[in-house]
Structure 1
Amino acid sequence: MRISLCNEVIREKPFAEQCAFAVALGYDGLEVAPFTLGEAPHRLSAAERGEVRNIAEDAGLRITGLHWLLVTPEGLSITSEDGAVRRKTLDVLLALVDLCADLGGSVMVHGSPKQRDVTGLDPEEAFRRVVDLMGPIAEAAESAGVTYCFEPLARNETTFVNTVEDAVRLADAVGNPHFRTMIDTSAAAQTEAEPVAGLIRRWVPTGKIGHVQVNDRNRRGPGEGSDEFAPILRALRDTGYDRVVAVEPFVYAPDGAAVAARAIGYLRGLLEA
């Protein structure tokens, strides 16, 4: 089971230092938030993409994928009633699929709660808009060898797709095996009716789960709250999950570096035990 660090946790460091630090802690990879690469990450040149990938590989690290996709540029939305906004969003996401592949990544996680809000909209019409938009993205992901995962998020973050069941409905409507969902343990602990380990045992065998991110329901790193991660890791092993597990805390106390170090030590210890 490969463990990756979401790089915004240590984004104050230059990228080369992020890679060296993650390797020193024992992470297998970095999961990159595109906004940490610049204001227009979807427009990075081939040379710039190659440089980022080479920096990671020279450090002995793999860029495992992308997440938090729509922070920049501003004004993006997959549910907007404005067709021009949706077309711009589609163009950015298609470019990010290429970016993911060029960096050596294999998975993209579509969270970006503010850019998928359906407040005041007809939910079923918004759902149809998202299906239409995600069709070309799924095809691009298939061509690039990337799995695109739509992330269920807690209800206090977004009004669109809050459970794995919601996301599976979306994936089934898109109808491409390169478009799946994933499990974020913090969001799942806040929202789902069953424990996260049970959720894993129910959904991983279906092939619908393309990724897992781990953090406590309190938004801190794994091991920094009341959630128990031993049953979660055991469920992943028992169900044959062989993809990346990414560490994605949102509260950095005392700082991101300390959180990253604590998380990998905690997870490695559970896996060894």
Structure 2
Amino acid sequence: MRFAICNELFQDWPWERALELTLECGYTGWEIAPFTLGRRPEQLPADRRRQLADQIQRSGIEVVGLHWLLAKTEGYHLTTNESEVRTRTAGYLGQLSQLCRDLGGSVMVLGSPQQRNFPETMTHQQADENALSVLEAVLPDLEKNQVTLALEPLGPGEGNYWNHAAQTIRVIEQLDSPWVRLHLDVKAMSSEGKPIADVIRESAKHLVHFHANDPNLLGPGMGEVPFEPIFAALREVAYEGWVSVEVFDYSPGIETIARQSMQNMRNALLHLDV
């Protein structure tokens, strides 16, 4: 099982220090939030992209890809009825796929609930149709850059679109493209009303990426959710992708979160092997 960590955890740390701690803790991958690269990450010059990719590679860390794709942006939305906005959103996602590839990544996680929620006047089917129009438009860029877009279900506390893995899979199956697949997140799955391990098993055919965390917004094993059944299910379905630690509450401190998350995941795996 390959472990990565999301780079926004390190906040204003120099990349050299952040990468050193990443490797020291035992992670081998970095998942990058575009907003950590500047206000307009899609406009990052080619030479700067090469510098960042080389720095990460030299440290011994692999770039998994990007997430928080639409966070801290303006003018983009997935389910809006405004066709110009959807066209602009598809164009931006296409640009991010090029950025992802230039940095050495191959997966982009589409969460960003604020840029996909739909109003009460719209049905879920209409939201699906609008989202499909965006996803269809970005397919050529995904294929060109060999980047997979991983759609992320999120709990109802964050929005009203793609609250369950099954809803997300419905769109994935309608699209029927190898470049659009499923991402699962422990915090989000905890709101599905069924065991997380069951969600993993039911979604295995489409699963391409995975986030480890807890509903309390901290890292894996830092809350009430046990990870032994989760890792057992991932093994059962022969999941071969990354397990990336993504947290939202940094109050315990960056080093504590990074170290404790990894130790908790290792302990969970050890218990499976006993």
Superposition TM-score, scaled by structure 2 size = 0.94
Query: Corresponding residue for 1:51?
Result: 51
Query: Corresponding residue for 2:127?
Result: 126
Deviating beyond 3 angstroms after TM superposition, the runs of 4 or more aligned structure 1 residues are none
Quote the Cα distance in structure 1 between the aligned partners of 2:145 and 2:213. 29
Query: Corresponding residue for 1:218?
Result: 216
Tell me if the contact between 1:6 and 1:246 (Cα under 8 Å) persists in the aligned partners: yes
Query: Corresponding residue for 2:193?
Result: 193
Quote the Cα distance in structure 2 between the aligned partners of 1:53 and 1:24. 19
Partner SS state of residue 198, structure 2: helix
Partner SS state of residue 31, structure 1: strand
Shift of the alpha carbon at 1:21?
1.5
Quote the Cα distance in structure 1 between the aligned partners of 2:75 and 2:86. 10
CA deviations over 1:159-213 (Å, ceiling 9, x no partner): 11111100001111212011011110111012x1321111112221x2x111110
Partner SS state of residue 254, structure 1: coil
Tell me if the contact between 2:31 and 2:66 (Cα under 8 Å) persists in the aligned partners: yes
Task: State whether structure 2 residue 71 is matched by structure 1 residue 71.
Answer: yes
Quote the Cα distance in structure 2 between the aligned partners of 1:201 and 1:24. 32
Equivalent position amino acid for 2:152 in 1: E
Quote the Cα distance in structure 2 between the aligned partners of 1:53 and 1:73. 23
CA-based RMSD: 1.3
Query: Corresponding residue for 1:104?
Result: 104
Equivalent position amino acid for 2:264 in 1: Y
Task: State whether structure 2 residue 175 is matched by structure 1 residue 177.
Answer: no
Q: 1:231 aligns with which of 219, 226, 229?
A: 229
Shift of the alpha carbon at 1:251?
1.0
Tell me if the contact between 1:100 and 1:108 (Cα under 8 Å) persists in the aligned partners: yes
Partner SS state of residue 181, structure 1: strand
Counting only pairs closer than 5 Å after superposition, residues 5-84 of structure 1 correspond to structure 2 as: 5-84=5-84
Task: State whether structure 2 residue 152 is matched by structure 1 residue 154.
Answer: no
Structure 1 gap ranges (5+): none
Tell me if the contact between 2:91 and 2:138 (Cα under 8 Å) persists in the aligned partners: no
Quote the Cα distance in structure 2 between the aligned partners of 1:127 and 1:203. 19
CA deviations over 1:119-175 (Å, ceiling 9, x no partner): 234222221111011012233222222211110000010111111100001111212
Deviates more, 1:104-113 or 1:248-257: 248-257
Tell me if the contact between 1:34 and 1:69 (Cα under 8 Å) persists in the aligned partners: yes
Equivalent position amino acid for 1:152 in 2: P
Superposition TM-score, scaled by structure 1 size = 0.95
Shift of the alpha carbon at 1:252?
1.5
Equivalent position amino acid for 2:257 in 1: V
Partner SS state of residue 105, structure 1: coil
Equivalent position amino acid for 2:211 in 1: Q
Quote the Cα distance in structure 2 between the aligned partners of 1:126 and 1:10. 35
Shift of the alpha carbon at 1:87?
2.0
Tell me if the contact between 1:138 and 1:148 (Cα under 8 Å) persists in the aligned partners: no
Equivalent position amino acid for 2:83 in 1: G
Partner SS state of residue 235, structure 1: helix
Query: Corresponding residue for 1:93?
Result: 93
Deviates more, 1:12-21 or 1:93-102: 12-21
Counting only pairs closer than 5 Å after superposition, residues 138-153 of structure 1 correspond to structure 2 as: 138-153=139-154
Quote the Cα distance in structure 1 between the aligned partners of 2:16 and 2:37. 12
Tell me if the contact between 1:9 and 1:249 (Cα under 8 Å) persists in the aligned partners: yes
Quote the Cα distance in structure 1 between the aligned partners of 2:139 and 2:254. 33
Shift of the alpha carbon at 1:84?
2.3
Partner SS state of residue 190, structure 2: helix
Structure 2 gap ranges (5+): none
